[in-house]
Amino acid sequence: MTPDSYHFGTRLAVRCDYYAFPRTGSHYLWAALTGLLDLVYFPNEHMDNPEAKQRMEELNPHAYYVLRLRDDGVPFQPVYLNASAQGTHGQPVAGAWPLLILIRDPHPTIYSWYHTAIDRWNSQVPDRVAWMRDAYASYRAFYTKALALQAATPDRVCLLRYEELLASPDPLRQVVAFLGVQPKLAPDFVHWWTDFSRFTQPGKKTFYRVGHNRQWRTDPDWQADWQKAAPGDFTAFGYPDTQ
């Protein structure tokens, strides 16, 4: 058994490499995938550390209990999603395996990234405008590569949009069709359980924050710095120009 040929018991796991920029909703998607798939993985430092365990305290424990169940008659089908093929949040590259890529509107993504760094990890940002410019440039570079891979090999790349994941179970059906497995729980049921208000604990949170894309627009100080940063047009990534 190796990360490149992952047998779970006697079964060869379906393998897919996963890429997402920070704060695009990976942990939300992973909860949904827990309901859909028999996820298997090698022990790693990203899963077994105090920070990861503390994040779980912000989640509704009943939701994860339910998402680990399965419908009667659904066979065990191990799926290995490698989220560290190029390191955590490494830029997507074509390899031997199909790619699952998550994207989110860049503006709430950057806003969430900043506030998680400040509120949860106590990061210091002496020049927020400069930080924003660098963050938007990193987002642009990441998804320029991702969309180029999708255009080159559309049958080997499944691109999910965070906004569509919130709105409908259709992207969950897209994932299981792409992987070629039977969902262990119905996508409609998984989508209902992972509604953000049901999936998280009530009250103040520093990691699983508000879950929607609107908050950055209601912060006047952020808006002022955003105008100075002038991040440019992201229409090519599927998000309309908001400047």
Domain regions of the chain by residue span:
7-228
Of 195, 196, 199, which Cα lies nearest the Cα of 64?
Answer: 199
| Position 226 pLDDT exceeds 90 | yes
Average pLDDT over the chain, rounded to whole? Answer: 86
Model pTM above 0.85:
yes
Confidence grade of residue 1 (pLDDT, cut at 50, 70, 90): very low
| Position 81 pLDDT exceeds 60 | yes
Q: Which option is the CATH number for 7-228: 3.40.50.2300, 1.10.3720.10, 3.40.50.300, 3.40.630.190?
A: 3.40.50.300
| Position 200 pLDDT exceeds 90 | no
SS3 of residue 7 by DSSP: strand
Q: How far apart are CA 75 and CA 120, in angstroms?
A: 40
Is residue 187 within 8 A of residue 169, CB to CB? The reply is: yes
Q: Does residue 211 come out as left (phi exceeding 0), alpha (psi in the -120 to 50 range) or beta? A: left
Q: How far apart are CA 14 and CA 75, in angstroms?
A: 14
